[in-house]
Structure 1
Amino acid sequence: MTTLQPRGGLTSLWCAEAAAMAALATATVIGNAAVLVALHRSKTAPAHYPLASLAAADLLVGMFVLPVAAARELFMFHLDPLICNFWKTLDIMCCTASILSLCCLGWERWCGITAPFARARRAKRARLFAGLVWPLSLAVALPTIFIPSPKALVNEDKGCPDNTNIGYVFYCATLSFYLPAIVMVTLYARILSALSVPLQIRSHRGGLPCPDTGQADKTPKPVLKRCAASDDICSQEDQTNAVVPSPKGCQLNLPEGSKPGSCPTSPVRHPGAPCSIISRQQRATRTIIRLMALFLACWTPFFIVLPLDSLCDCVWDSVWQWCTWLGFTNSALNPLVYAAASPSVRRALQASLTSSVKPEVPLTPVRNR
């Protein structure tokens, strides 16, 4: 690497850009490192595997991709071709892995709603899919080393120019963004549809089969009730609870003195109480909408500008810069939205920072409580 010369001189705008880029890289590293520490120190759950893959990809972006990307924007220099190829491969691989990990999280959310009791099978598949994210991402990124870019000789003042080969750009954009975006939109649409099903019906999906007795058992017995938006099975006694038949003929327990659709007046709500379940569903719905909006807002401009620039070379450098760093911003915001938005994850983060003992707090970014 040759001597670094500030691009455009040491102006106030240059200093502001340098401070913003440094702050973004620092926030990306700290936030995703904290999530990985909390995941390592807490109880394992199926959603941990795609969440760990997401945090690892974003952490690599903050540690290795953003510093070089900031240097390219702030300084004029030439980078050794070997280092340049390694950086470009790492850049594309980590960003693709981050996006594909979001797809795995969406799939885990969907499975958590449709098959809440199949934790072992979900964990095995989540581990498999999270592992497949990285070879797929490498397959997307590796061709950039062997495919020459038409702008390699034009941008001589910019270290390690982006690969704008038309064929590779459309190959990369399709596998890195457009196909994952379609999958995510489909998954989240089905999740929202599932969350909109009335609680009395959805609470029995994936649950225990209903006995065909022809009449309700008059003997009070403990029953198992699925906690919607949770992986737990809540046990309650019928002796003090009202029994309400479900559409499938099963029996639902409600607190004494309550009616179907009503909420208990007790200030202490059981995690499986109707009001608590409905409240979690509403929070999960709001969070899912925010997740999709954040993902699309951060990455859509870049993946529109990228193929457009490869076709006509008509994108201004300032527009390219803003779109690129808007996509990088997604790596810094993911820990806040996917982790800190969940109360259980916040408790695990606090426990990991304040205690040397492993907290037995299940992280459930799939369903916020």
Structure 2
Amino acid sequence: MIEDQRLCNESAELQRQTVTSYALSVVVVTLSLLIICGNLLVIISVIYFKQLHTPTNYLVLSLAVTDLLVGALVLPFSTILSMSSCWYSSYLLCKMRGLFDILLCTSSILNLCCISIDRYCAVCHPLTYRTKINVFVTLAMILVSWTLSALLSIVITVRGNDEENLSWRCKVFVATKESIPGPILTFYIPTVIISTIYLKILLVAKRQARNIQKTIKSEAALENKANITLAIVLGVFLVCWTPYFLSLGLYHMRKFTIPDIAIEAFKWLGWSNSVLNPLVYAFFYRWFRQAFKMILSGKIFQGDFSHTKLL
């Protein structure tokens, strides 16, 4: 009987609170739909409109696919596990959720790494940017990002198996010694790299702004706005995910008592990042706003507007 209780999901108390359970379901379903719909708009926009067929936007497309899968896979799995009071067959489901979670989180930050490299080449080496960063190079970066993410997620998930199955409990975070290198490889090192690159971009952009000629001021302003927007995407990602990884690190060190419910809340904050990126694009990019309007109004189904000039 005691062993059976240990196999129950650690969030089993939610099952006893019917109102809370239904409220959680409504919130998660709403969040999942927002994530899927928002990122689907980005994906359709980049694929359909020829003007958006640029190396940078292909990286944005890869990031949007990652965010969409968070809403379509990770959130539903997490909700099922949270709502299950004592589901003995949830071991496989929990492992699948963990695998997708690590895969997509790692893919997000590696895609942001690629975007920062793209922006670095555009700002710091503008004359050679088109030769260095082309479609082939961009696709190669996307392939490497997803491949590394898949390998890391498989290794971390397999090594995360608990030695005693009887004491196994499904968590939204992994707290074993084997899992310690995971956050270092998937979050901290890429974050330091991205932050360093964007700091370099900021310094170079400021220096270029002082030397810019009036004849190309408008073009430079657009480029600067694109850099700021992508930096905001990075900032939003860090705001959403840093609390979780910091609390997880403190949890591992055992120097501070952090309730599991707090780490779970930080995890959900991280997942909510997937709904924010499309909002950033819609708010800062005029061409994305125009593309979204044409898609939502159904105009693209009335004819071939793929070559439309998005202002």
TM range (shorter): 0.7 to 0.9
Indicate the structure whose relative CO is greater, using CA pairs within 8 Å and at least 6 residues apart: 2
Partner residue, 2:4: none
- Give the paired residue count: 293
Gap change, CA 1:147 and 1:65, over 3 Å in 2 = same
Aligned positions of 1:165-314 closer than 5 A: 165-168=176-179, 170-199=180-209, 201=211, 254=215, 272=216, 274=217, 276-277=218-219, 279-280=221-222, 283-284=225-226, 286-288=228-230, 290-312=232-254, 314=257
2:150 to 123, 138, 142: 138
Question: 1 or 2, which has the higher helix percentage?
Answer: 2
Does the aligned pair in 2 maintain the 1:352–1:358 contact within 8 Å?
A: no
Partner residue, 1:86: 96
Q: How large is the RMSD of aligned CA atoms in angstroms?
A: 3.2
Q: Write the deviation string for residues 291-346 of structure 1: whole angstroms up to 9, x where unpaired.
A: 34312210101111223223439421220121000100111112222455211222
AA aligned to 2:99 is: T
Distance in 2, matches of 1:361 and 1:200, equals 34
Gap change, CA 1:151 and 1:307, over 3 Å in 2 = farther
The alpha carbon displacement at 1:29 in A equals 0.8
The alpha carbon displacement at 1:85 in A equals 2.4
Gap change, CA 1:284 and 1:49, over 3 Å in 2 = closer
Between Structure 1 and Structure 2, whose CA radius of gyration is higher? 1
Aligned positions of 1:41-52 closer than 5 A: 41-43=48-50, 44-52=53-61
TM-score norm. by structure 2 comes to: 0.81
Question: 1 or 2, which has the higher strand percentage?
Answer: 1
The alpha carbon displacement at 1:198 in A equals 4.2
Partner residue, 1:163: 174
Gap change, CA 1:13 and 1:151, over 3 Å in 2 = farther
Distance in 1, matches of 2:307 and 2:43, equals 15
Does the aligned pair in 2 maintain the 1:54–1:101 contact within 8 Å?
A: yes
AA aligned to 2:81 is: R
Gap change, CA 1:340 and 1:136, over 3 Å in 2 = farther
Distance in 2, matches of 1:62 and 1:303, equals 20
Distance in 1, matches of 2:166 and 2:78, equals 19
The alpha carbon displacement at 1:91 in A equals 1.4
The alpha carbon displacement at 1:171 in A equals 1.5
Task: Give the 3-state SS of the residue equivalent to 2:174 in structure 1.
Answer: coil
The alpha carbon displacement at 1:115 in A equals 2.4
Partner residue, 1:31: 38
TM-score norm. by structure 1 comes to: 0.69
Q: Which runs of 5+ in 1 are unaligned?
A: 203-251, 255-271, 364-368
Same amino acid, percent of matched pairs? 26
Distance in 2, matches of 1:308 and 1:173, equals 12
Q: Which runs of 5+ in 2 are unaligned?
A: 1-7
Distance in 1, matches of 2:235 and 2:214, equals 37
